[in-house]
Amino acid sequence: MSQVFDLLIVGGGVSGSALLYLAARYTDLQHVGMLEKYAAPARVNSLHSNNSQTLHCGDIETNYSLEKALKVQRAARMVENYATAQPDIDHLIFRYSKMVLGVGDRECGQLRARFETLSPHYPGLRLLEPRDIARIEPAVAYSGGSARHDEIIALGSEGEYTAVNFEALARSFVRQAQRCQGKQIDVGYNQQVRHIKRQGELFIVESGTTSFQARSIVVCAGGHSLKLAHDLGYGHHFSVLPVAGSYYFTPQVLRGKVYTVQNDKLPFAAIHGDPDVMVPGKTRWGPTALVLPVLERYNWDTLKDFMRVFRFDRQVWDVLYDLLKVPDIRNYMLKNFLFEVPVLRRALFLKDARKIVPDLRYRDLKFAHHVGGIRPQLIDKDNRKLMMGEAKIDTGVGAVFNMTPSPGATCCLENAEVDMRKIAGYLGARVDEEGFARELLVDDKRHEVEDLPAHFISGDAAA
C-alpha cells in the first residue's frame, strides 16, 4: 500500500467491508483501502458463529417502533438485494420461516395490536393462531403429545429471506470491491491500527509496522472504534459497556426462527431459537447477555483496550447505578451471570427455552463453547444513559467512527451508505445514484434514508 488514500477504512468486519464495496462501486474515489487486524475479514462479531445470523426486518422485533421497523426493513432489503444478485447466493442468504411467539394473555394481546400496526407495511406478515403455529413449528405448539395449555399466538412469515452468513457477506463485499475496474482498492490484513492523528489536511493512520496517509477515514472497529476516536480527541463523553452473548445447541427441534416478545426495559433480553446456517441438524438458542470487561469475546488481550475506553468515573457509575436500580435489569444481570456457571447455567437456560419448546429436556442442551460475540453498547455520560443500537461519531472533518451492536450486521449497507455520502460530500466526490438505486434499492424507494444528525445517531437494539 502506498501514496495517499482518498478513503481509508479501519476494521474489516461486515460494516467496513460494506463501505469498501460501496465506495469502490458507486463513487469516483480513486484510491480506497481497508486495514484489518486479523488475517481475514469478519473474525470478530461478524464471524458466522458470533451473532444470531438474523436479517432483522422489523416485523418480529417487538421492541421496535414502526419508524425504526421501517428503517430496518429498508436496510434488510439492501442486503437481500445485494446477496440475491451474487453468484454464491446459497452461501450468503437463507430462507427460513420466522415468528415472534406470544405466550399468555398480555403478550398475545400485544402481538394482535402490533399486527394491526405493521401488516400494511409487511405484506408477508401473518397473525398465526395455534393451528398455524403447529403446522410451521410443531414443537412449539405441542407439549406431551397434545396442544400446549397456555395461550399462544404468533406473528410471522414463511418463504422470506431471514438468515445471513455475515462473515461470508463480508468476504463477498471485499471480493466484489477488488473487482471494480479503473481504481486502486487495497486491503491490508494483519494490520492493527494503534493510533490515528491529524497532520494538516491528512490523517496519519499508524499500525505496528506502517504509517498510512488518508484524506478521509471511517473506523468500523467495534468497541475499538471509541478508543481510536478518543485518540483523535472525539467522543470523550462516551464510555462503552460490552455485553457478551452466549448460545446453546440442542438437537433440531425448530424448522425456522422463533423469537419471543421483548421486555421494554431490556431490549436484547428475550432469547430465540433457530437453525444455525453452518451447523445442520441442530437448533441454536440464545443469545444471553452478560457484561464482560473485554472488547472481543474470548480474547482477554482486549481487557486493556476495554480499560482505556471504559474510563470509569462518577458519570459512568451514575449510569450503571441507574440501571441497577431497575429490578428487571438487576435480576436479569444476575441471571445472565449465572448463565455462565457450568451445570447451573443449563438448568436456568432450560427454563427460558421452554417458553418456546415446552418439551425441551435438560440433557438436550449443550453450552456452545467459543460461540457468540460482544455488543459494544455505548454509555452517554452527558445524558446519563445507556445507548441502544448503533452509534456514530461524525467529526465533520472527514473522520467517522462507528460502533455497531445489533442489528448492525443487518444495517451494514445502510450504515455504509450514510458514510459513503458523508465522505463523498466532504471530499467533493460523485456518487453513482442511478447505479446505487438500481442495484441496491431495486423497487424499494418508499423509505428514503433520513437526513441524519451531523454528530450522532442511534437506534434500538435487538438480539
Binding mask 312-331 for ligand FAD (x = CB under 6 A): --------------------
Specify the residue for cell string 467459543: 370
How far CA 239 is from CA of 172, 289, 295, 400, 456, in Å, comes to 33, 18, 12, 17, 14
Point out which span in 45-53, 195-203, 344-352, 360-368 binds ligand FAD (CB under 6 A). Answer: 45-53
Point out which span in 52-60, 87-95, 148-156, 417-425 binds ligand FAD (CB under 6 A). Answer: 52-60
Min dist. Cβ of residue 137 to ligand FAD (A): 19
Considering the complex, state which of residue 152 and residue 365 has its C-beta at the smaller distance from ligand FAD: 365
403 forms beta bridges with: 391
- Residue 392 has, within 13 A of its CA and on its CB side, a CA count of 24
Residues in Cβ contact with 389 at an 8 Å cutoff, skipping those fewer than 6 apart: 405, 406, 407, 458, 459, 460, 461
Q: State yes or no: residue 374 binds ligand FAD (CB under 6 A).
A: yes
Size of interface with ligand FAD, in residues (CB under 6 A): 42
How far CA 81 is from CA of 2, 46, 74, 77, 78, in Å, comes to 34, 19, 10, 6, 5
Min dist. Cβ of residue 29 to ligand FAD (A): 20
Q: State yes or no: residue 193 binds ligand FAD (CB under 6 A).
A: yes
Q: Which of 283, 377, 404, 429 binds ligand FAD (CB under 6 A)?
A: 404
Q: State yes or no: residue 63 binds ligand FAD (CB under 6 A).
A: no
DSSP annotation of 284? E
Kind of pairing between the strands at 217-219 and 7-10: parallel
Considering the complex, state which of residue 84 and residue 359 has its C-beta at the smaller distance from ligand FAD: 84
Q: Which of 136, 319, 409, 416 binds ligand FAD (CB under 6 A)?
A: 409
Q: For the segment 17-36, give every residue that binds ligand FAD (CB under 6 A).
A: 35-36
Point out which span in 39-47, 196-204, 354-362, 432-440 binds ligand FAD (CB under 6 A). Answer: 39-47
Specify the residue for cell string 396442544: 147
Q: State yes or no: residue 56 binds ligand FAD (CB under 6 A).
A: yes
Q: State yes or no: residue 77 binds ligand FAD (CB under 6 A).
A: no
**Sign of the C-alpha dihedral, residues 204, 205, 208, 210?**
negative
- Give the H/E segment covering residue 195: strand 193-199
Kind of pairing between the strands at 126-128 and 152-157: antiparallel
Considering the complex, state which of residue 64 and residue 108 has its C-beta at the smaller distance from ligand FAD: 64
Rounded CA-CA distance 55/34 in Å is 25
Q: For the segment 198-257, give every residue that binds ligand FAD (CB under 6 A).
A: 220-222, 224, 245
Residue 295 is placed in which grid cell?
472488547
Specify the residue for cell string 438485494: 81
Point out which span in 23-31, 47-55, 152-160, 429-437 binds ligand FAD (CB under 6 A). Answer: 47-55
Point out which span in 48-56, 254-262, 350-358, 442-450 binds ligand FAD (CB under 6 A). Answer: 48-56
Torsion angles phi and psi, residue 449, rounded to 5? -65, 140
Point out which span in 6-14, 254-262, 325-333, 447-455 binds ligand FAD (CB under 6 A). Answer: 6-14
Chain residues binding ligand FAD by CB under 6 A are: 10-16, 35-38, 42-46, 51-54, 56, 166, 192-193, 220-222, 224, 245, 287, 372-375, 404-410, 463
